[in-house]
A and B are shown apart, each in its own frame.
Chain A
Amino acid sequence: QQQVKQSPQSLIVQKGGISIINCAYENTAFDYFPWYQQFPGKGPALLIAIRPDVSEKKEGRFTISFNKSAKQFSLHIMDSQPGDSATYFCAASMLLRTGGFKTIFGAGTRLFVKA
């Protein structure tokens, strides 16, 4: 019930194309859904996040679509660039009664954008 399932494992996209990564969760206690980008040798960096009362959020070339009834959310990267080549993690977070957030990460998607 704590799992976050992410697909695909890897993705190759042409420069200028759309990259789409999908995630699904089970526990309805999760109330914050961030996406992280990680380059080799670096820590994850927050890309964009959404709360379940919103169905879509757009920031620049990055859009999250959220389907609360299906317990699914996805990341769309428009006009994908070679610099977007990285590992992307979806995550689901819940506020702890004792403070802070418990965050479960998806397995990750390795994106390669061909020039």
Chain B
Amino acid sequence: DTEVTQTPKHLVMGMTNKKSLKCEQHMGHRAMYWYKQKAKKPPELMFVYSYEKLSINESVPSRFSPECPNSSLLNLHLHALQPEDSALYLCASSQGYRSGEQYFGPGTRLTVT
């Protein structure tokens, strides 16, 4: 099973709302990632988690707050977002130290109104 699942598929939120994106994998991978992808652009790395610890934060604004409750789950908490944060948010996972192969989920399409 090489599946990464993400919920919800679509999310519309106002600038004062608080919402969360969820990501799950059952491949035994120990590294998980959040990417942001704007239309017709490449994915941009936001956060890397390794063994449930934050490995890097690519200078992401604090209105995005990641959380890794266990090795299979990755959340992205959203608060006070701006319209320019509207994008496809992709989750990925990889084995960790042994392999750079990343498996991506289908993404959550986020619209901030």
**Which residues of A line the B interface, CB within 8 A?**
32, 34, 36, 41-46, 49, 89, 93, 95-96, 98-108
Residues of B within 8 A of A98 (CB): 50, 53, 55-56
Residues of A within 8 A of B51 (CB): 99
Residues of A within 8 A of B105 (CB): 43
> A interface, by DSSP: helix, strand, loop or mixed?
strand
- In the assembled complex, the Cα of A101 lies from the Cα of B58 at a distance in Å of 12
* Inter-chain contact B90/A96, CB cutoff 8 Å: no
Shortest CB distance A66–B (Å):
15
Shortest CB distance B76–A (Å):
15
Q: A93-B100, A98-B55, A100-B49 are in contact. Are A105 and B31 (CB under 8 A)?
A: no
Contact of A49 among B41, B96, B100, B103 (CB under 8 A): B100
* Inter-chain contact A101/B94, CB cutoff 8 Å: yes
* Inter-chain contact B53/A99, CB cutoff 8 Å: yes
* Inter-chain contact A96/B101, CB cutoff 8 Å: no
Shortest Cβ distance from B88 into A: residue: A43
